[in-house]
Amino acid sequence: MVQKSDKIWFDGKLVPWDEANVHVLTHALHYGTGVFEGIRAYECSNGKSAVFRLEEHMERLLDSAKIIGLKVPFDRDQLVEATVATLKANGLKAGYVRPLVFVGAGAMGVHPGQNPIQVCIATWPWGAYLGEEALEKGIRVKCSSFTRHHVNVMMTKAKSCGNYVNSVLAKTEAVADGYDEAIMLDPQGYVAEGSGENIFMVKDDVLYTPPLHNVLGGFTRDSVMTLAADLGYEVREATLGRDMLYIADEVFFTGTAAEITPIREIDRRTIGEGKAGPLAKLLQAEFFGVVKGENPDYAFWLHEYEV
């Protein structure tokens, strides 16, 4: 359950959580015409707080909106300022940030016409997406029966609401079958990503991840690739078959929500030693050091604020 906060930023104003409402005929509710982001704020070791790669997330939100044809009534800097204001209003030194741009109520039909474009930013406390134990023990996943989007079926570079019905189907199937998460294959049968995460595998000290042909490149993915390269590891974008994952030394998910979550089992096959591997643990330590402001080399990824 989402832990309720005091305020939500809605169309330029901070309003009480329970008053951030929309009409049941809101276009996005019926047709998925919205875009969103998932962002995290962390409490830093110096007593301040920081939002991880905030400006880049807001740039991607605006890019997603452009891809599906939404004209956002706020610019990036206004959205950045609104995010910090919302975190402060809710007294959050750390938490999750969910910006949403969506087509509001008005014309009803596939074409949204002149319906208003609305924007909200919600923030709330949130721990590890797949559970605290998952960061150490790893999770069990299955390759989904649902295929990831083709690039010309849905706009795969837009983080759009409608795209995620595909993810809901995959995640629901995986959980119903007793797994924690799903791995989705692309229309050609190669590994794409999780239901809401990017995926990496390690083989012989080389770090591999699928190319961005038809997946959304996450900022945690990009950060992990940068950190691994800076630590001296070879990083390759490569087309991966599911059988390559089975015999990998390590496999892990990355994402704003998942952070760096090891995978201990895929399709009833134990991966590596069946727990978090050495590179995943090293990258976890490096990543959490960065987001907590303990590594000045990556301070440019952090947007600091004080509650």
What is the tens place of the pLDDT at every residue in 89-144? 999 999 999 999 999 999 999 999 999 999 999 999 987 666 678 888 999 999 99
- The verdict on whether 275 is a catalytic residue reads no
Q: Tell me the average pLDDT across 237-246.
A: 98
108/71 Cα distance (integer angstroms): 19
Taking only Cα atoms into account, the Rg of the chain, rounded to an integer number of angstroms, comes to 19
pLDDT at 129: 66
Residue type, 102: F
38/52 Cα distance (integer angstroms): 11
Nearest to 182 by CA among 147, 231, 220, 142: 142
For residues 269-289, b (16+ Cβ closer than 10 Å) or e, as one string? Answer: eebbeeebbebbbebbebbee
Q: Report the chain's mean pLDDT, rounded to a whole number.
A: 96
Express each pLDDT in 150-181 by its tens digit: 989 999 999 999 999 999 999 999 999 999 99
Q: Tell me the average pLDDT across 42-54.
A: 97
pLDDT at 193: 97
pLDDT at 128: 67
Has residue 33 got a pLDDT over 70? yes
**Which one is catalytic: 7, 93, 159, 171?**
159
Q: Tell me the average pLDDT across 22-49.
A: 97
Angle 81-86-89 from CA coordinates, rounded to 5°: 125
pLDDT at 210: 97
252/263 Cα distance (integer angstroms): 5
Q: What is the pTM of this model?
A: 0.95
Has residue 56 got a pLDDT over 70? yes
pLDDT at 277: 96
Q: Tell me the average pLDDT across 185-203.
A: 97
Residue 52 in tokens: 């991880």
Nearest to 291 by CA among 246, 236, 254, 238: 254
What sign has the CA pseudo-torsion 146, 197, 136, 278?
A: positive
Q: Tell me the average pLDDT across 242-247.
A: 98
What is the pLDDT confidence band of residue 68, given thresholds at 50, 70 and 90? very high
Q: Tell me the average pLDDT across 20-42.
A: 97
Q: Tell me the average pLDDT across 59-72.
A: 98
What is the pLDDT confidence band of residue 48, given thresholds at 50, 70 and 90? very high
pLDDT at 87: 98
